[in-house]
Amino acid sequence: MVSQSAVSQQLAQLERIFNTPLLNRQRKSFGLTDAGEMFYNACKDIITRYDNFQSGLNYLKNSARSRIAIAAIYSIGMYGLQEYIKRFVAARPDVHLDLEYLGDTEIYNRILSGRIDIGLVAVPRSSSDIQVFDFAAEPMVCVCCPQHPFAKKTSIDICMIQYQPFIAFAQNLPTRNWLDQMLIRYNVAVKPAMEFDNVETIKRVVEINAGISIMPQTTLKNELANKTLKAIPFSNENFTRPTGIIIRKNRAINDNLRAFIELLYGKTIK
């Protein structure tokens, strides 16, 4: 804990060194001067660069080079990632893949803090600190139980769903926002009967004929095989949910991590 007087002394010393005021001390407009703002931003940049260097150095020195920490949202980790993991482990059996299922917000936080190496999310977003590589685009289909009238159709117009009880993804999820924008494009309004934050709960609710939903077809393999759900494509267009691999920008990438990213991405990365 640094006392206020110590901070004041350090600030005064900096102002003497740079021969310019860094703080505007007028009572009504207390705050940083232009020079102070510049100094503050420069310090932030230095700290960020140091943190990135320290994280990268630790990663390269650490014996965990043979370990890759991965976090994925449940639908991707459970249904889209498993075949890639099998292929990678077969090619590099000495590398340990540590996979967790997490929400997208936590995945982004852990990527930025360096606690995981790779994240897999739906509707990915890049930023000044996050780099995105495309992963599999997932076909989105209308889902209902076998007793529902839609189950007999080979395809449906998306406008037909607005008259049905709808089981939706929770409002805080990127997939929900993406679906809402998709429906707006077709001027379709749905009133969710229920909202959930994961595909498994949505599937269970649709199975008891409590409503229909729109979901990634990749998550329905078991239910379609067991005939507990029906998946009906849309006649309007082939809707696909984008998914992505995210890593922190400017981080150190060793050979194992590079190989895994390139396997998922399907291309060579720089």
Q: Does domain 62-136+242-265 have CATH number 3.40.190.10?
A: yes
| Close Cβ partners of 140 (under 8 Å, ≥ 6 residues apart) | 179, 182, 214, 215, 216, 217, 234, 239, 240, 241
Are the folds of 62-136+242-265 and 138-241 the same? yes
As beta bridge partners, residue 194 has: 167
211 burial class (0-12, 13-18, 19+ CB within 10 angstroms)? Answer: buried
pLDDT of residue 2: 55
The domains of the chain are located at 4-60, 62-136+242-265, 138-241
pLDDT of residue 6: 66
Report the SS3 class of residue 109: helix
Structure tokens at 82: 């498993």
pLDDT of residue 58: 62
Q: Which CATH architecture has domain 4-60?
A: Orthogonal Bundle (1.10)
pLDDT of residue 63: 45
Distance CA 143, CA 206 (A): 7
Report the SS3 class of residue 89: helix
pLDDT of residue 160: 95
CATH number of 138-241: 3.40.190.10
136: left (phi over 0), alpha (psi -120 to 50) or beta: beta
pLDDT means per 10 residues in the chain (270 residues)? 69 83 74 84 84 68 72 94 95 94 95 94 94 95 97 96 94 94 95 93 96 96 96 96 95 91 93
pTM beyond 0.85: the answer is no
